[in-house]
Amino acid sequence: MESGQSTSIRGTAQAHWRSFMPAWFFPFVFFYGGGVSDSLGYPTLFFLLIALPLFFWTFFRATRPYAQDRARYWPCVFLGLVVPFFLGIVAVGSRLALLGLLSGSGKA
């Protein structure tokens, strides 16, 4: 480890969590913000002015450790792509559950 690169997923996450954190929160902002903007009547404005720039910003933040040769490729792919994908599934599921509760069709 003379090059200063984090070799494991855990080591990469501990060393560079600030770079990956926006990508981990983006799915929740995307799905909940999209729902709120749709209910307010401005979905296109939200996607063009907030979601799209935020997506590219979080992508470049998540790739920074690899681009600066401070972390290896596969841990960066896992933390910057796979983890946000699974968090997106959680965000969709939580939004659907919330919509079910709000519409009164929850099976309580």
Domain boundaries defined on the chain: 18-101
* pLDDT of the residue at 107: 59
* pLDDT of the residue at 106: 53
* pLDDT of the residue at 99: 85
pTM, 2 dp: 0.83
Mean pLDDT by 10 residues, the chain (108 residues): 71 95 97 93 96 97 95 95 97 91 70
DSSP 1: -
Listed in sequence order, the DSSP H helices in the chain are 9-40, 43-46, 52-67, 73-77, 83-102
